[in-house]
Structure 1
Amino acid sequence: MVVNRRAVIAAALGHRFPGADVVVNRVLVYGSLTVLTGGIHFGLTWLFGAWFGGRDGEDPSAGPAAALATGALFNAMRLRLQRGVDRLLKVEGDPYRLADRLSRTRVDQGVRPVRLRQWRLGKH
């Protein structure tokens, strides 16, 4: 039996299964991040070994140097991938814009906004 992965993802997102969009988002981000991190580490290990390895092309410090360089790039890659996947899945990333949109939705539906009580030390 052949299963079309895109059809399964579209069906899961179309029926609004609770949490399915979060799972798909995380799988796309961290799956891509794993592939990118592995490729960059492999490429940098080969490059550092070729540059600093001398005639035989092997340098024992190439692996750790590549790991440090890949680790330095990790967070920037994760943030860029997260923004790209959020854009692809149309996820609102800005919490202020999301709160504004939610408050407008509640007002449009006729629900009065709730006033929050400010608590101060000693006064209730």
Structure 2
Amino acid sequence: MAKKDGDLFCIYSNEEMSMENFSIDHFIPWSFVTHDQLWNLIPTSKSVNSSKGNNFPSLSEYLDPFVEIQHKAFKIFLENNQKHKNLLYDYTTIFKDDLNGIARLKPDEFGNVLKENINPLYQIGENMGFSTDWTL
């Protein structure tokens, strides 16, 4: 989770990220979704990412911080990286809107769309035998 501009913190450990301990986590495990779409990726430390493995994180503990960092990252990337804006098109698959429409969403609206897409994936993963409710 971002504490102040430019600082990134792991949503699981609350550790500040640095280049030495930086890793990318699939919030919904890659072994389940088998894609690297940006709406499912967050920064975390290498040790936390290793510890989480193929587990689904606790939604009650981590979903709101995940949504918050996703919204901030989307806005920052859209505003500051026009050259690489095409990377954000992953979001259009779950938001069913273009980038400008997504950018106009209020934080709670953005979060609701993410949650509406994550909750069923979580349930399906649990039904398939994935370990759920992981916490650090």
Fold in common (TM above 0.5): no
Q: Which structure has the larger Rg over C-alpha atoms?
A: 1
Which structure is higher in strand share?
2
Which structure is higher in helix share?
1
TM-score w.r.t. structure 1 length? Answer: 0.31
